[in-house]
Chain A
Amino acid sequence: MRTYTKEIQAIIDNVEKVIIGKEDVITQSLAALLAGGHVLLEDVPGVGKTMLVRAFSRSIGLTFKRVQFTPDLLPSDLTGVSMYNQKTSQFEYRPGPLMGNIVLADEINRTSPKTQSALLEGMAEANVTVDGEIHTLPNPFFVMATQNPIEHEGTYPLPEAQLDRFLVKVKMGYPDFHQEMKLLTRFERDEPIETLESVIGREQLLQMKEEVKNVHVSQPVKKYIVHLVQATRTNGSLYLGASPRSSIALMKVAQAWAYMEGRSFVLPDDVKHLLIPVLSHRLILTADARYHGQSSERILEQIKKEVAVPIQQDVESL
């Protein structure tokens, strides 16, 4: 059983009123939010992805926007357009759905690469360019993109370079029997999402994000991160290992995690715990490994077991 700071626990409890038995998904998403990254939710429809994002935005008191990605969606549908105002004889900027604090990009792989890249630019730069004008996105800006792994017909799978921009990938998965029973009971009368109230405000969230940056990452932990990432690059089953960007991502999420647990320093345990959500979508398996039923999760599990945890400066003497 993990313990979190009061604020984090409050958010988790709040979200859990709607999403039952998905603490890992909630906390990992929260860590990504605090670390200033974005989340890729990979799962089949109907497991509560939208509900999760809505609960999040309500709990933190942020504006929530949702975009359903379709093949005919244009970049301007996301970013917004400049329209000519006849009264003022001026082009005026009409912000698109990206101009929200929390954006749910539903079925991101259904739209054209062009539109995808517009989203990804916004995610990376925190601003969008419309007609040569740069518009800064609101702060915090947090994208939760969903992806359906089952259907491939008429989809545009995200290229690896772009997947790399998501800080973590989480899987919802189905609830178990009891959780589903509980779910039914809770939704029997009313929609609990409507009664959800915010537990922290925007300002507080921004302050927390600042504090996350101050979490100490010791030399042994950095060493551990590098060892882990390097292990993916030398692994025979992997065609593409994790990039240096993923090292940074791992460290940042670990910092956020440590903060959530109320620590001022990162433990190897944090890194180990977050390795799979942070790295699994960034790796490409060799055809052979895929043929043999390997998965990046399984390879990362193996790496976790193989890479030694540095327990002190002079590890070798033990």
Chain B
Amino acid sequence: MMRRLLWNAIAAAVLTCFMPPLLELTTFEHLWSFLPMLFLPLLLSHLSRRYFLLGSLGGLLLSFYLILTPGSAPWGIFTEISSDVQSVINGELPGRPAFALSIGLISFLIAYLARRTFPNRGFVFGLAFGVIGFIAYCDTWTDYSGETFILYPIILSLLLLYATEVNERPRASYVRPLSALFIMGAVIVAAVQSPVINATWQDSWYDLTSGLEGEGEPSNAIQKVGYGNNDEQLGGPFQMDDREVFQVESEGNRYWRVETKDIYTGKGWVLSESNPEIDGRGFFSHFGKEVKTRNETATFEMARELPFVPYNGDNVRLTVDQQRQNVLVDPDNQKISYLDDAEQQRNYQIEYAYPLFTEEQLQTDEPLNLSVADTRRYLQLPDGLPQRVRDLANQIVEGEKTPWDKARAIENYFEEENFEYNTEEVAVPKENQDYVDQFLFETKLGYCDNFSTSAAVLLRAAGLPARWVKGFTGGESDVIGSAVTSYTVRNKNAHSWVEVYIEGPGWVPLEPTVSFDGAGQYTIDRETNNETEQTNPQRETENNTETTTPNRPQENLLDEEQTTSAGQTEQKSIPFWPILVTALALLFLYLFRKPVIRTLAILFFRRQIERPEGFRRMYRYLLRRLDKKGFHYQDGRTLAELAHEVDGYYETYAMRPLTDAYERMVYGGESLSAEKKREYFENIIRHVEG
């Protein structure tokens, strides 16, 4: 009785779990007003039909009273329902009463089902999958976020399953469900404690669309709203997304840039102006006339149409089906897009000029020769930028002679100062706080936006024209070693970096983000300068197959300079190992419980069997074990009959002689040799626990 009531209560609790997401999406406010009609039918489901129906109706009416007519006459419900039904008949959407009524009906039907099927594991699975599936659905397709809440129905369902098990078999062993429950608990605890728990429960839909439209960072899962081209508000955590954006076959691991932005607002980036024009090629004069370039080809295979063309270098020409295509080129943000959204391509080829800088070119000390407008644009800094940022910039570049050395100093600053790459604990600047200032002086941890924006601001503060670039890193290569390699670029490869203008070479990309090596943006030409290796070893990419994509935050921790933070992570995860070991040990014990029990029983009774009392105890133990196996010793059954059945089932001849010995002892006062008894016992226990 109590067990059944408990089962009912747990089932009702599981059922109730589907309400919170529903409430969040509707205008209902309180869960408690729904509780009578959710709980009462299930709680009374084991009573006779009369009480069950009365109780269900009572619960329904009580809930309606609480939901719809607080303070007014109870019969007000009926007029409201009838008018509601009338409106539904007239083809309108149902109102609150009809909605509440349908929930009541669902609750009643489920209680009725439980009443008819109890105890039934199928029912439990159905209920659990229904509720959990509903929460998952709401989480994925609506604004509702059920990340932690979903644990409740899962745990409750497990409890319910256990309760069903207990009810199903009154004398069932408690070991199995309890150990299963324990292992589940251990796994959950281990999972919670584990340091690697990032890409589990994602808001997939938003990530996907943002990754496709937003060209920039993969989505901000927590904030969910405000993506697209908007980089005005940077900051806040985001989660990794493994969805593929495109596959590209190229002659090396290249960064794929999409666009740049020029105006830093103190919170993010905006574009000053945009004048796209139709052209047969994307030519932006990124590089100076003396910079050598190499023509490269890349073949793209998009997972889905993108409204822009990712590219590298300069002088980009788009080919679709061997037909040269005209594109929309915007010189203000160097974005290449299609003339028409309808022309978005999934398979195309681009040709581009890949820059080969020489150390000599980079180390130039030529004065800037930019137009006034460009100088203003690329040296722009907001008025509210704190002075300490400017001071820091000057401090970093102090002593450096050439612009390139200054730029390199700023690029390397973050790594030298042990800034941490992190995507999860990234703060959003406070209302009167500057984004860069917060990162440089307070948090010192962040992801590419923080590093690239800060680098851009520092460069500008140091008098070097800089612009903020968005695009994708090279991704992971599928095939290694051939001249043309295929790379898979995913949402998580979305990246931002910075370009500095140096008179002579032109716009040179920098990779300030720690743990990113900036490979694939340009190459220092070895043939013209042999000192390259010394000064810029990590820029060398021609032979770099990039097997370890450093874009992922977890793997960044492997960096030597990050050992301190890695150590911290390890400290945090200390409880993980004992729990895992315990769980494994329990699992092992559970899986091998039969041999363990068998061995223990044989060892335990080995000596005992010699004495009559011990033999009797052994036989009684055997009877109990057999009872668990379904060979019930019950009224009116003789031991010989039981033994016959047992031996017949296991196709052996052990229980009968053992029983014979036992009978001889109990009814005849005789005794069999211990040796024989031992042999028979070991024989039969091997079958029973086998």
Which of A263, A265, A269 interacts with B641 by CB under 8 Å?
Answer: A269
Judge whether A264 and B623 touch: CB under 8 Å. no
Interchain pairs with CB closer than 8 A, number:
56
Q: Any chain A CB within 8 A of the CB of B669?
A: yes
Judge whether A218 and B640 touch: CB under 8 Å. no
User: Within A287-313, which residues are at the interface with B (CB < 8 Å)?
Assistant: 304-309, 311-313
Judge whether A306 and B636 touch: CB under 8 Å. yes
Given A220-B666, A221-B667, A268-B667 in contact, is the A306-B639 Cβ separation under 8 Å?
Answer: no
Residues of B within 8 A of A58 (CB): none
Judge whether B667 and A220 touch: CB under 8 Å. yes
User: Within A241-292, which residues are at the interface with B (CB < 8 Å)?
Assistant: 263-269, 272
Given A308-B635, A308-B636 in contact, is the A265-B616 Cβ separation under 8 Å?
Answer: no
CB distance from B596 to the nearest CB of A (A): 25
Q: Any chain B CB within 8 A of the CB of A216?
A: yes
Tell me the bound Cα distance from A207 to B636 in angstroms.
Answer: 34
Given A218-B668, A312-B616, A318-B620 in contact, is the A267-B636 Cβ separation under 8 Å?
Answer: no
Which of B664, B666, B668, B669 interacts with A311 by CB under 8 Å?
Answer: B666
CB distance from A310 to the nearest CB of B (A): 9
Given A312-B616, A318-B620 in contact, is the A272-B638 Cβ separation under 8 Å?
Answer: yes
Q: Any chain A CB within 8 A of the CB of B633?
A: yes
Q: Any chain A CB within 8 A of the CB of B670?
A: yes
Judge whether B636 and A309 touch: CB under 8 Å. yes
Residues of A within 8 A of B639 (CB): 268, 309, 311
Q: How many B residues face the partner with a CB closer than 8 A?
A: 18
Q: How many A residues face the partner with a CB closer than 8 A?
A: 23
Residues of B within 8 A of A264 (CB): 668, 670
Q: Any chain A CB within 8 A of the CB of B430?
A: no
Binary B-proximity of A194-218 (CB < 8 A = 1, otherwise 0): 0000000000000000000000101
Q: Any chain A CB within 8 A of the CB of B637?
A: yes
User: Within A38-67, which residues are at the interface with B (CB < 8 Å)?
Assistant: none
CB distance from B559 to the nearest CB of A (A): 68
Residues of B within 8 A of A268 (CB): 638-639, 667
Residues of A within 8 A of B635 (CB): 305-309
Which of B623, B636, B667 interacts with A304 by CB under 8 Å?
Answer: B636
CB distance from A147 to the nearest CB of B (A): 30
Judge whether B666 and A309 touch: CB under 8 Å. no
Q: Any chain A CB within 8 A of the CB of B251?
A: no
Q: Any chain A CB within 8 A of the CB of B663?
A: yes
Judge whether A269 and B669 touch: CB under 8 Å. no
Which of A269, A312, A313, A318 interacts with B638 by CB under 8 Å?
Answer: A269
Q: Which of B637, B640, B641, B666 has the most CB of A within 10 A?
A: B666
Residues of A within 8 A of B670 (CB): 264-265
Judge whether A267 and B623 touch: CB under 8 Å. no
CB distance from B626 to the nearest CB of A (A): 12
Judge whether A318 and B623 touch: CB under 8 Å. yes
User: Within B641-657, which residues are at the interface with A (CB < 8 Å)?
Assistant: 641
Tell me the bound Cα distance from A241 to B659 in angstroms.
Answer: 33
Which chain A residue lies CB-closest to B667?
A218
Tell me the bound Cα distance from A216 to B667 in angstroms.
Answer: 8
Q: Which of B633, B638, B663, B667 has the most CB of A within 10 A?
A: B667
Q: Which of A216, A272, A311 has the most CB of B within 10 A?
A: A311
Residues of B within 8 A of A266 (CB): 667
Which chain B residue lies CB-closest to A308?
B635
Which of B616, B633, B669 interacts with A216 by CB under 8 Å?
Answer: B669
Tell me the bound Cα distance from A169 to B55 in angstroms.
Answer: 61
Binary A-proximity of B605-649 (CB < 8 A = 1, otherwise 0): 000000000001000100100000000010111111100000000
Given A311-B633, A312-B616, A318-B623 in contact, is the A267-B638 Cβ separation under 8 Å?
Answer: yes
Residues of B within 8 A of A269 (CB): 638, 640-641
Judge whether B669 and A267 touch: CB under 8 Å. no
Residues of A within 8 A of B668 (CB): 216, 218, 263-265
Tell me the bound Cα distance from A308 to B664 in angstroms.
Answer: 19
Tell me the bound Cα distance from A309 to B636 in angstroms.
Answer: 6
Given A312-B616, A318-B623 in contact, is the A305-B666 Cβ separation under 8 Å?
Answer: no
Residues of A within 8 A of B616 (CB): 312
CB distance from A221 to the nearest CB of B (A): 6
Tell me the bound Cα distance from A312 to B618 in angstroms.
Answer: 13
Residues of A within 8 A of B664 (CB): 265
Which chain A residue lies CB-closest to B637?
A309
Residues of A within 8 A of B637 (CB): 309
Residues of A within 8 A of B666 (CB): 218, 220, 311-313
User: Within B662-677, which residues are at the interface with A (CB < 8 Å)?
Assistant: 663-664, 666-670
Tell me the bound Cα distance from A246 to B669 in angstroms.
Answer: 26
Residues of B within 8 A of A216 (CB): 667-669
CB distance from B629 to the nearest CB of A (A): 16
Which of B633, B640, B667, B669 interacts with A318 by CB under 8 Å?
Answer: B633
Tell me the bound Cα distance from A60 to B664 in angstroms.
Answer: 31
CB distance from A255 to the nearest CB of B (A): 12
Given A265-B664, A269-B638 in contact, is the A218-B669 Cβ separation under 8 Å?
Answer: yes
Given A221-B667, A318-B623 in contact, is the A267-B633 Cβ separation under 8 Å?
Answer: no
CB distance from A83 to the nearest CB of B (A): 54
CB distance from A273 to the nearest CB of B (A): 9
Residues of A within 8 A of B633 (CB): 311, 318
Which chain B residue lies CB-closest to A303?
B636
Q: Which of A221, A272, A308, A309 has the most CB of B within 10 A?
A: A309
Judge whether A267 and B663 touch: CB under 8 Å. yes
Residues of B within 8 A of A313 (CB): 666
CB distance from B464 to the nearest CB of A (A): 92
Tell me the bound Cα distance from A12 to B633 in angstroms.
Answer: 34
Tell me the bound Cα distance from A77 to B641 in angstroms.
Answer: 49
Tell me the bound Cα distance from A312 to B623 in angstroms.
Answer: 12
Which chain A residue lies CB-closest to B665?
A312
Residues of A within 8 A of B636 (CB): 304-309
Which of B620, B638, B669 interacts with A265 by CB under 8 Å?
Answer: B669
Residues of B within 8 A of A308 (CB): 635-636
Residues of B within 8 A of A218 (CB): 666-669
Given A318-B620, A318-B623, A318-B633 in contact, is the A309-B667 Cβ separation under 8 Å?
Answer: no
Which chain A residue lies CB-closest to B636?
A305
Residues of B within 8 A of A267 (CB): 638, 640, 663, 667
Tell me the bound Cα distance from A99 to B669 in angstroms.
Answer: 42
CB distance from B644 to the nearest CB of A (A): 10
CB distance from B634 to the nearest CB of A (A): 8
Which chain B residue lies CB-closest to A265?
B668
CB distance from A313 to the nearest CB of B (A): 8
CB distance from A193 to the nearest CB of B (A): 36
Which chain A residue lies CB-closest to B616?
A312
CB distance from A127 to the nearest CB of B (A): 36
Which chain B residue lies CB-closest to A309?
B638
Tell me the bound Cα distance from A265 to B662 in angstroms.
Answer: 13
Residues of A within 8 A of B641 (CB): 269
Q: Which of A265, A305, A308 has the most CB of B within 10 A?
A: A265
Which chain B residue lies CB-closest to A302?
B636
CB distance from A215 to the nearest CB of B (A): 9
Residues of B within 8 A of A309 (CB): 635-639
Binary B-proximity of A139-164 (CB < 8 A = 1, otherwise 0): 00000000000000000000000000
Tell me the bound Cα distance from A220 to B669 in angstroms.
Answer: 12
CB distance from B444 to the nearest CB of A (A): 72
Tell me the bound Cα distance from A272 to B642 in angstroms.
Answer: 14
Binary B-proximity of A82-97 (CB < 8 A = 1, otherwise 0): 0000000000000000
New A-B contacts (5) at CB < 8 Å, excluding given A265-B664, A309-B635: A220-B667, A269-B641, A312-B616, A313-B666, A318-B623
| Chain A to chain B contacts (Cβ below 8 Å), 13 pairs | A218-B669, A264-B670, A265-B664, A265-B670, A268-B638, A269-B640, A269-B641, A272-B638, A304-B636, A305-B636, A308-B636, A309-B638, A318-B633
The 9 closest A-B pairs by CB, nearest first: A265-B668, A305-B636, A218-B667, A308-B635, A269-B638, A269-B640, A268-B638, A309-B638, A265-B667
Residues of B within 8 A of A (CB): 616, 620, 623, 633, 635-641, 663-664, 666-670
